[in-house]
Amino acid sequence: MINNKYSLTIVLGAIIALMGCSDNSSPKIDKTIAAVDSNSVIYSFEQSDELADVNLVNARKVLHNVDGNQVLKIDFLSQSNHESSVEFSAQQPWNWNELGDFGLAFDITNPLTSSTHVYVSVTDSDGKTHNRSFAVPAQSSDSYVVELKGAELNQEAGIRSNPDSWKDKYTPIIWRYGTKEINLAEVDKITFKVIGVPEDKSLTFDNIQLVTPKAKDSNYLVGLVDKFGQNAKLNFDNKVSTVEELIEISNQEQKTLQNTVIQGRSQFNGWADGPKLKATGFYRVDKYQDKWTLVDPEGYLFFSNGIANVRMANTSTITGYDFDASLIKQREAGDLTPEDSIGLNRAPQAAWSSRHVSSTLRAEMFNWLPKYGDPMADHFGYRREVHSGVIPHGETYSFYQANLARKYQANDGVEIDSLEIDKQWRETTIKRMQSWGFTSFGNWIDPKYYDMEQFPYFANGWIIGDFKTVSSGNDYWAPLPDPFDPKFKERAFATVKQVASEVKNSPWCVGVFIDNEKSWGQMGKVESQYGLVISALGLKANNSPAKAKFSQMVKEKYQTIGALNTAWQLNLPSWELFDQGIELKVFNEAIIADLSNMLYVFGHQYFSIVNNAMDALMPNHLYMGVRFADWGMTPELRAAAADVVDVVSYNYYKESINESFWAFLAEIDRPSIIGEFHNGALDSGLLNPGLIHASSQADRGKKYAEYVNSAIDNPYFVGTHWFQYIDSPLTGRALDGENYNVGFVSVTDIPYQPLVDAATQVNKNIYQRRFGKNGK
């Protein structure tokens, strides 16, 4: 360990000598480097005693001497463990508070033939963490930096990950979550994790040190977007410069597309060459060969592999302009559609003259926006509310829709209206799905696809209303609805009624997802796992139906307040005080057991009400659950869902279905489906790869195949849905600034061919891989 006090003069350290490997050798990196200021170095690994502060979880460490340079090799034992990590701890907290703008830099070598997605966290003495992630390409060596201090760090631009402002040779690491400004006077540890990957990983680390930027770009947010919605500051494959080029690429693709079911499939994309089970005229679930499966309306085995979010609703971005609020139509009471699921929702013409800049920062990002009244202005929209961003509401623009208009309206020189453009887009999309071999769409599909009756789909709904809510203590999207409130039942039935009117009892609808990624609870601590119940117990029983239910349960079990006090180690004088609300801070086994039971009952009530609505209004369609986020579910909620829904759904953003994480599937033994997963790369021109990072478009395809095949091989999964069809806008979607390269197509509607090729190959072999050559 080197001295914990650091000079303000911090410069780039030496790049590591590359580690040799028995069957692979990494390329050398040629960089011009300056001398090292020894006070800036945290770990150089030149002394073996430095390893005393290196802690491992499901990993191995060893020092290597390569060409006279000592490096630390970490083997992450991640094939058999969901998470493995290495932690560099301070003997005494590091004090970096006196430094100017700086970052934490380190050299990493990956000798393997596969990339590695790494999570890095910097934690202070209060437990607050600054979290980022990055992809280390296969057989590579590079220097990376985590910016920890600088004016740009907390620049709210309405983009999930801003462009990099540093001008130097470091590769910046994408921000993920946590606290951007931790206590730099007391930094406790630096952690690198590998999570949810299909194989063991190995990386070497060297020169963990503090560095300052050589220079900064003060205009890093200015002039970012060209007229096609692309990154104006970078070059990349398939970057379009003219409308003619856009049309030519589209015409060439159209020649390759088909509009028929691929050979060996039923009209509903079931396995026509495989065994035939009972046909009901609608999709259902069954077990075959001890594996859960969907069964199509004709009785054929069906695995749902598809793409979610095939709609225009999330293609627009905030422009930085707004209008007189009195001229904007506001949401109506009883509205069943969330703001981000509504289309463009354009500002009325009467408001156009009041258009003004509401955010100079946002407005200056765009090199081009059309004038109102011009044909391309048809792609303006308006958001009355957002989840997060630099401004709470305002004008939006969809460059994706504008590009569709450009390439379709210019065909034959004849201008066509928006309805015809939308029709051509939908027809092309279905041709792509058939040509690429997908068996269905995923969630969040434009309802106009429903009436086409050409491709299987999933419908969706949100339960929105003025019912009571309960906080779980970490309400990322919103608090949980109180399912014991009669108004929740009323709104659940209204939601399903609306979905039923859209689906029209169609056999092409596989099932229905209701709600999404609710913050049910987080594993790790009693307070987070049972936060929902703990929060409800703190409410008044006469104002919270959930609290009233929990009070009833406790009274029925313990009968007297004395018995409760003994079990829970409390000193309450009466049930009346319990009903007024209690604050739990200490948890014994009896309390935890009761909290667990209450959480299950809460979940069971929620799922039962929605299921009853489905049984009453959509009895022929599967109830697909709520798409649990892997970060926001507990065993109690999974058990409650499994007891009620037809298929339990999960959104799981990792590289593969890691067996150690998914062991609980055997316990609940219900058909399960992945509602969302994805990966992305930075060679697309976008600023953020997404939640899972690949090193290139080719690597995206490799990771896609690994993920889907791992689900096909699991006997409990009946499908996987990729999120999403279209890349996020470069400057972030209007809802919350997501700016991810996670599409099968770009903002110019050009497919990412390496990803398409990988998916096509996987889709050709879905049924044979899952059930054997003949399904026997």
19 pLDDT more than 80: no
Could you tell me which residue, 30 or 515, shows the higher pLDDT?
515
pLDDT at 412: 52
Residue 611 contacts by C-beta under 8 Å, 6 or more apart in sequence? 623, 644, 645
Taking alpha carbons only, the member of 338, 294, 677, 725 closest to residue 511 is: 294
pLDDT at 492 over 90: yes
Per-residue pLDDT at 43: 92
Provide, rounded to the nearest whole percent, the portion of the chain with pLDDT above 70. 94
Strand partners, 318: 396
Whether residue 37 has pLDDT greater than 70? no
For the stretch 683-702, pLDDT in tens is 999 999 999 999 999 999 99
Q: What does R_g of the chain's alpha carbons equal in angstroms? A: 27
Mean pLDDT score, 492-520: 96
What value does the mean pLDDT take over residues 425-429? Answer: 97
User: What three-state secondary structure class fits 168?
Assistant: coil
CA dist., res. 554 & res. 426, Å (int): 54
CA atoms within 13 A on the CB side of 286: 18
Residue 387 has what pLDDT?
87
Arithmetic mean of pLDDT, 674-679: 98
Which helix or strand (DSSP H or E) is residue 102 part of? strand 102-110
Categorize the per-residue pLDDT at 347 as very low, low, confident or very high, splitting at 50, 70 and 90.
Answer: very high
- Answer whether residue 472 shows pLDDT above 70: yes
Mean pLDDT over 388-406 rounds to 95
Euclidean distance between CA atoms 133 and 653, whole angstroms: 13
CB atoms under 10 Å from CB of 629, counted, come to 21
CATH class name, domain 38-211: mainly beta
Do you know the residue count of the chain?
776
Task: List C-alpha distances in Å: 28 to 17, 65, 111, 192.
Answer: 8, 16, 12, 24
Report the chain's terminal Cα–Cα distance, integer Å: 61
* pLDDT band at 22; cut points 50, 70, 90: very low
CA distance 170 to 163: 14
Matching residue, tokens 């792509």 = 432
The full set of domain ranges for the chain reads: 38-211, 317-397
Q: What is the DSSP letter of 77?
A: -
Distances (CA, A) of 765 to 346, 439, 721: 44, 12, 17
Retrieve residue 382's tokens: 């308006």
Helices (H), 215-276: 243-254
* Residue-level pLDDT at 88: 96
Q: Is the pLDDT of residue 543 over 90?
A: yes
- Give the model's pLDDT for residue 507: 98
What does the buried/exposed string (b/e) look like for 678-710 if buried means 16 or more CB atoms within 10 Å of the residue's CB?
Answer: bbbbbbbbbbbbbbbbbbbbbbbbbbbbbbbbb
Banded pLDDT at 49 (limits 50, 70, 90): confident
Burial (CB < 10 A; 0-12, 13-18, 19+), residue 212, is: buried
The distance from CA 114 to its chain's CA centroid, rounded to whole angstroms, is 22
* pLDDT digit string, tens, across residues 296-314: 999 999 999 999 999 998 9
Cα–Cα distance measured from residue 436 to residue 446, given in angstroms and rounded to the nearest whole number:
20
* CA distances from residue 553 to 91, 363, 471, 556, 661 in whole angstroms, order as listed: 49, 55, 20, 5, 32
Query: In angstroms, rounded to a whole number, what is the distance separating the alpha carbons of residues 95 and 72?
Result: 24
The first and second tokens of residue 198, run together, are: 């299909």
In the block, tokens 């700016």 appear at 739
Exposed e or buried b per residue across 728-745, where buried means at least 16 C-beta atoms within 10 angstroms of its C-beta: bbbbbbbbbbbbbbbbbb
What torsion do the CA atoms of 203, 206, 208, 212 make, to the nearest 10 degrees?
Answer: -110
Enter the tokens of residue 77. Answer: 């034992």
Centre a 10 Å sphere on the Cβ of residue 569 and count the other Cβ atoms it contains: 12
Residue 494 carries which side chain, given as an amino acid letter?
A: A
Q: Would the pLDDT of 18 be above 60?
A: no
Residue with tokens 């609020």: 325
Main-chain dihedrals φ then ψ at residue 775, nearest 5 degrees: 75, 20
Tell me the mean pLDDT in the region 31-43.
Answer: 53
Angle at 669 between CA 774 and CA 479, to 5 degrees: 125
Phi-psi region of 334 (alpha: psi -120 to 50; beta: other; left: phi over 0): left
CA–CA separation, 352 vs 329, rounded Å?
13
Fill in the DSSP letter of residue 669: -
Instruction: Please name the residues in contact with 373: beta carbons below 8 A apart, sequence gap of 6 or more.
Output: none
Question: Hey, is 352 helix, strand or coil?
Answer: helix
Distance of alpha carbon 713 from alpha carbon 110, whole angstroms: 28
Show Cβ contacts of residue 326 under 8 Å, excluding neighbours closer than 6 positions: none
* Mean pLDDT, range 449-478, rounded to an integer: 92
Q: Quickly list DSSP for 142-161.
A: EEEEEEEE-GGGG---S-SS
- What pLDDT, on a 0 to 100 scale, did the predictor assign at position 203? 97
Task: Supply 346's token pair.
Answer: 């354009």
291 by DSSP, 3-state: which? Answer: strand
Q: What's the mean pLDDT when you consider all of the chain?
A: 91
Structure token pair of residue 393: 């509401």
Instruction: Report which of residues 608 and 338 the model is more confident about.
Output: 608
Task: Calculate mean pLDDT across residues 63-80.
Answer: 91
pLDDT higher than 50, residue 26: no
- Among 6-15, 253-262, 510-519, where is mean pLDDT lowest? 6-15
pLDDT at 40: 86
Average the pLDDT over 127-148 and give the result: 97
| pTM, rounded to two decimals | 0.92
Between CA 11 and CA 410 the distance in angstroms is: 54
- Residue 39's pLDDT band, with cuts at 50, 70 and 90, is low
Query: Is the pLDDT score of 217 beyond 70?
Result: yes
Per the structure block, which two tokens stand in for 177?
């979550």
Better-predicted residue by pLDDT, 509 or 25: 509
What percentage of the chain carries pLDDT values higher than 90? 84
Cβ neighbours of residue 412 closer than 8 Å, sequence gap 6 or more: none
Confidence of residue 648 (pLDDT cuts 50, 70, 90): very high
Higher pLDDT residue, 10 or 198? 198
Cα–Cα distance measured from residue 487 to residue 236, given in angstroms and rounded to the nearest whole number? 52
